[in-house]
Structure 1
Amino acid sequence: KTPDEVLEIIKTAFLPVPDRTETVPYTEAAGRVLAEDIRATEYVPAFNRSTVDGFAVKAKDTFGCSDSIPAILMNTKEILMGQAAGLVLTEGQCAPIPTGGEVPEGADAVQMVEFTEDYKDGTTGILKPVAPGHNIILKGDDVYPGKPVLTAGRKLTAQDVGALAAMGIMKVPVARRLKVAILSTGDELVPPEQTPGPGQIRDVNSSLLSALITQMGAVPVFYGIIPDQEELLSRHVEKAVQECDVILLSGGSSVGVKDPACRIIE
């Protein structure tokens, strides 16, 4: 059979895995599979923010200005980082503002400091006009309450964790990791740290499978190297069936007397 045909047989043979979820801190959510849709519960950003260092203005006050004919505006209170703007900008005024600062009510644009001139008399010259919304990120530009942000089934990335933090979501519903049993069988196998004797080989498959399982987001459970003894292997398989969601048997799958895996599965 082709690899695709074999995969189809495996898929149809699988029993449904019970729906199991758990809640983890957002700091531990990277690499986990989201179990439920996540919707925003607040605005991000939570206020109109300046994207540059400069002056908050009413855009119409700057229309038609230039280097030779600046718009001269009266300075108001400086807006400080991490604090509410605390003022209402009126016509003919401007307010110094840092990158990330809250744009005050009444302002609808921010001009970069590079396009201004301080006249040292309480006024500032705006040397280049701005349109409404210039250099401003509006409240809720990123997300707003009710907006779908992350969908169930998504494998969460580092960027997703950042988004969760931005929204203040501290607990995340994720799918519980599948436990995958690994059983290596064969009288010829020895652990990787052991030097093989005559007729022996190191057990490579269990290490490879364990790494692949971890890489795919599941939890590997190694049941050790099991000799070619049908009763012993059967006991280990029965134990693994009780404790794990998926069983991987490496070896013992031929039709020889010393290959009992197929008989045990049947």
Structure 2
Amino acid sequence: MKKIKSTLILLILSAFAMASAEAVDDVAKVVALKGNVFIERPQGQVQAKVKDDVLLNDTVSTREESKTKILFIDDSVLTLGEKSKLVVKEFISSKDDRGKSVYNLLDGKIRTIVGRTNFEVHTPNVVVAARGTNFYVETGMKNNVHYSTVVCFEGVVDIKSIDASVKGTVILTPGMMLKVTEHQQNMPQPEKSTPSVLSATYLDSSTKTQDTGAPTMTQAQAIADTLSNVTAPPIPQQPPPPPPTSNAPANTTPVKINITFP
């Protein structure tokens, strides 16, 4: 009997856990883009448009001189720079603090404003973890060696190597940066961001939403729907001008004036 009760309790707790934290497929929307942006799925590749859905396991890629801004359902905003490729690897939605999102940045650069979930970006050589913060990640190849650069603007960012043999975690605070190259035996020390690096992190894109802050999904949809349905109001017809008036009286009455000179 006790075993049955214990099993029932476990089932109830599991049900509550699943209700409060669950994996979802429809995780984001494209709220802005510039140039050629594509979404890759098992069914094929499509060119992205504003208001398109981004699903779990989608790969979003940009071409040269192209950018996109994506708003996730946890209020995280991700701007993907040119010649970049990002995979939405994991997304667990939660009403409490157990939500989690994981993204694989295969190449290129992103700037993120992290919402209320635990947020991770995996590059070929590092794992970047943050929550409720604003940071930038760039990854690529130089001299056939993978590198990743991370810059923290707000909050705290944790960085560790993909290579399990490289021990330790580097913590970045606002204004600090870290560059990690493949095959390093130890994690490097963070350093202060330089003006040239900060300039490179600016990934603004043409947008139908405000660039400051992180609007909710409902707000983004409302803005996009409003803009797409707006029609110009008809121009009111001006009344014709009144006919010109004459200063001459309509009727004349003869007047006789007698003037006597002395």
The two structures share one fold, judged by TM-score above 0.5: no
| TM-score, normalisation: structure 1 | 0.21
| TM-score, normalisation: structure 2 | 0.21
Q: Which has the higher helix share?
A: 1
Q: Which has the higher strand share?
A: 2
